[in-house]
Amino acid sequence: GQQLNQSPQSMFIQEGEDVSMNCTSSSIFNTWLWYKQDPGEGPVLLIALYKAGELTSNGRLTAQFGITRKDSFLNISASIPSDVGIYFCAGHTIYNFNKFYFGSGTKLNVKP
Amino acid sequence: EAQVTQNPRYLITVTGKKLTVTCSQNMNHEYMSWYRQDPGLGLRQIYYSMNVEVTDKGDVPEGYKVSRKEKRNFPLILESPSPNQTSLYFCASSSETGLGQYFGPGTRLTVL
């Protein structure tokens, strides 16, 4: 099946630092989504991207839909302790709008 | 309050004993989906449904069944569970195909 390569797998950063993570696919994607999962809970949608080149912000979070439509990145600026969690990229290819694929996640740890 | 609910939240069962995990959403969403989450693998889509009586396979459908008789409910059925189906399961929904989804709180299933 389709594989999404998400990196890095985990990050340990100091409060106040900026964070960047990215996702690449072998197929062209029509949608890129970024989710955050807190321990014991379901993923929560952070940002949705629907057009190549699109750059969207949500507070301290910024995500971009790559021009090639095979990649996306998420930046978090000035990290705070509550940013701790697992971040997932997700999306669907141009071949099937109903089938979703998720990356393996980036585990973020923030030291106060 | 808009939400996706799942029951049960935790389940321990034995190999071969049929079980059903229920999922219900109160947002009148057309699209619903089931995922399983395993360490290091992210979330993998099991089945999805575009509307009542319309379902299709995701990436890992083997060993699972679903039904969509009503818009709000999308149960996941394991006819003969096996230990390799031990996992964390999430139900999700969205107003349309291709949009970001709302996730339920998860069901942790252990098959002995």
Mean pLDDT, to the nearest integer, of B89-93?
Answer: 97
Q: Tell me if residue B30 falls in helix, strand or coil.
A: coil
Judge whether A56 and A34 are in contact, CB under 8 Å: no
Instruction: Kindly identify which residue of chain B lies nearest to residue A94, measuring between CA atoms.
Output: B98
User: How confident is the model at residue B87, as a pLDDT?
Assistant: 97
Q: What is the mean pLDDT of chain B?
A: 95
- Which residues are paired to A32 by β-bridges? A49, A91
**pLDDT the model gives residue A1:** 64
Put simply, the answer to whether B98 touches A98 (Cβ < 8 Å) is yes
Identify all chain A residues contacting B58, using CB atoms and an 8 Å cutoff. 99-100
Q: How confident is the model at residue B25 (pLDDT cuts 50, 70, 90)?
A: very high
Task: Name all contacts of B65-68 with Cβ < 8 Å and 24+ positions apart.
Answer: B66/B34, B68/B32
- Give the minimum alpha-carbon distance from A13 to chain B in angstroms, rounded to a whole number: 21
pLDDT at position A77? 97
Encoded amino acid at B7, one letter: N
Q: How many Cα atoms occupy the beta-carbon half-sphere of B78 within 13 Å?
A: 24
Using DSSP bridges, classify how beta strands A61-65 and A71-76 pair: parallel, antiparallel or unpaired: antiparallel
Which residues in chain A show pLDDT less than 50?
none
Residue B100 pLDDT > 90: no
Task: Please say if the pLDDT value at position B96 is more than 90.
Answer: no
- Chain A residues lying within 8 Å of B33, measured CB to CB: 100
Instruction: Answer whether residue B10 shows pLDDT above 80.
Output: yes
Identify the three-state secondary structure at position A83. helix
pLDDT in tens, B67-80: 999 999 999 999 99
- Cβ neighbors of B9 (< 8 A, separation 6 or more) are B105, B106, B107, B108
Q: Are A41 and B105 within 8 A, CB to CB?
A: yes
